[in-house]
Structure 1
Amino acid sequence: MQEIIDKIIEYLKEKDGVREELIKASREIIRKCRDIVNKIHRRKLKNLDDDFSELRLLVEELRVKCKSFPDMYHSGIVQEALMEYYEAWLLYEYVKTGTLETVTDLPREDYVAFLLGLADVAGEFRRELVQFLLEDDIEKAEKFYTCIEEIYSELSRFSFPDALTPGLRRKVDRIRYILESSQNDILYAKKTRELLKVLDK
């Protein structure tokens, strides 16, 4: 009995050490993601490719740390880091290319984290949309609206229980609210522009 108990203790000690490393690595990924997102919103795009290369490296290191205990890859802190990563990646790709069609392949174990990140990036697109409206660039704002609309349409296809896609349904409901608010903001901006044209005559 003592021999197997000793083995279990050693196993759990090793796993706990890996858990501590994953917590630290995940927090660093989340911090880096938020830094990249904030830079994009502030239009500080210089060196963004380098920042994202560093972020990709951190994510790959996280994957390696999980190899000895694969179940920990699906733990809350790791999945949160991956969700933030995909949110930042999608925003980065859209700002860089003007489309989300560049995202074509993912590891199967990342599918849910990707979906949750995709749902969350709608909020970041909303921030961009509002900023362009403040700059009186309605056309660019409408492009972000169209993208949010596409995200909502695609995510609405998922009707799986929360055990498979935790929190996704709630996030999709939030996107619907974002769409309604954004549509009202765009209509108001258009009416304001038309009114100003009339007043200028």
Structure 2
Amino acid sequence: MRSEQHPPKEVAFVKTALLMLDRSRLEAIDKELPHPLLLRDVLKDTGVQHATVFPLKHVRTSMGTNYQAVRHIVRDSMKVDQSGAFYDTLKWLAYRQWQAGSAANSPGFQCPHCREEITQGLAHNSDAGPCPHCNAEVFLSDVWGFHLDMEEDSAQESLAPFANIYYAGFLHDGEKEVVEAASVLSIARGSGFPTPSELGVMPMSFLNGMGEAASECRRFALDRMRAGDLVEASRILDAMEAVYEELITFDYSDAMTGGLRRTTDALRAVVERTRSDLTATTSQHELVEELKRTREALGK
């Protein structure tokens, strides 16, 4: 999809569907004169749809990302169009070739890879060169920043011109998954939680993602219990409870929080089950240890 604003923003919209049919119910329908209501009942709730939206910068080609492909296209087009007249003009301007005996470098510009300023520019009359900061190849055409219209670092910014997609929930779901992945990792490692600004997500996506991440961490707690590491299991449970205690303070309508209340209720059930499992495991562990001590005492 392409927006009408200038510079235009482009996003890719992917939607997939999974269709599951009950063959026994389907075979019970008359093949010659199928009743439409029976067909409706068979097809009801059989389609599971998934959709996502992402900036075209994240679409990869043989040249790398779409962003890098545009850089190559800009350079190659200037070299080909009008038998290279545009590119020759670019070099004439960049290297001040109207001055007799000029050995000037190109103007300074921002590296399209690391975003550092290449203050000394490119060497005189060169078509490309390495960035002094990241050593990645930069082109003379990068000097004028023709590729910058394709800069799509934020999905929110990319989708802003497409209100029907921006508010449809696809962006919210994608951001929520990012938050969930980052938060699960932080809980498992015992590091600090990420912030919405660090992840570049909206507040409601962050809150829901944190809730689902805490629920996912139950499996880590169970794994630690099975391994006999009750201290680590207790730490994970404490982190889950900390997330829950924060989420219950957001008492707003679902329209504002993206269904946070349901996420919080589900997390509460997970926390309670995990606490019950940890309590039972701790008691069993203490019983086993006591039996070991009793056996050792009787053996003496």
Q: Verify same fold: TM over 0.5.
A: yes
Amino acid at match of 1:137: D
Instruction: Report the 3-state secondary structure (helix = DSSP H, G, I; strand = E; otherwise coil) of the residue aligned with 2:233.
Output: helix
Cα distance in structure 2, aligned partners of 1:104 and 1:65: 18
String of CA shifts for 1:60-92, please: whole Å, max 9, x gaps: 463453244356333222211110011001112
Cα distance in structure 2, aligned partners of 1:17 and 1:108: 18
Q: Which moved more, 1:63-72 or 1:117-126?
A: 63-72
Which residue does 1:132 correspond to in 2? 224
Which residue does 2:250 correspond to in 1? 158
Contact persistence 1:18–1:65 (CA under 8 A): no
Per-residue deviation, 1:164? 0.4
* Mapping 1:18-167, distance limit 5 Å: 18-20=12-14, 23=52, 25=54, 60=153, 62-63=155-156, 65-69=158-162, 72-96=165-189, 98-103=190-195, 105=197, 110-167=202-259
Q: Which moved more, 1:101-110 or 1:131-140?
A: 101-110
Cα distance in structure 2, aligned partners of 1:78 and 1:128: 28
Aligned residues: percent identity?
A: 24
Per-residue deviation, 1:93? 2.6
Q: Which moved more, 1:128-137 or 1:66-75?
A: 66-75
String of CA shifts for 1:84-127, please: whole Å, max 9, x gaps: 0110011123334x133453735886111001101101111111
Q: Relative contact order: is structure 1 or structure 2 higher (C-alpha 8 Å, sep ≥ 6)?
A: 1
Cα distance in structure 2, aligned partners of 1:77 and 1:194: 48
Contact persistence 1:80–1:113 (CA under 8 A): yes
Q: Is 1:199 matched up with 2:291?
A: yes
String of CA shifts for 1:31-60, please: whole Å, max 9, x gaps: xxxxxxxxxxxxxxxxxxxxxxxxxxxx94
Per-residue deviation, 1:176? 1.3
Cα distance in structure 2, aligned partners of 1:192 and 1:164: 44
Unaligned runs of 5+ in 1: 1-9, 30-58
Structure holding more strand per residue: 2
Cα distance in structure 2, aligned partners of 1:74 and 1:117: 17
Contact persistence 1:93–1:100 (CA under 8 A): yes
Question: Could you tell me the TM-score, scaled by structure 1's length?
Answer: 0.66
String of CA shifts for 1:103-153, please: whole Å, max 9, x gaps: 373588611100110110111111111111011110000001111111111
Instruction: Report the 3-state secondary structure (helix = DSSP H, G, I; strand = E; otherwise coil) of the residue aligned with 1:105.
Output: helix
Cα distance in structure 1, aligned partners of 2:166 and 2:208: 16
Per-residue deviation, 1:173? 1.0
Structure holding more helix per residue: 1
Instruction: Report the 3-state secondary structure (helix = DSSP H, G, I; strand = E; otherwise coil) of the residue aligned with 1:123.
Output: helix
Amino acid at match of 2:230: I
How many residue pairs are counted as aligned between the two chains? 157
Per-residue deviation, 1:18? 4.9
Instruction: Report the 3-state secondary structure (helix = DSSP H, G, I; strand = E; otherwise coil) of the residue aligned with 2:166.
Output: helix
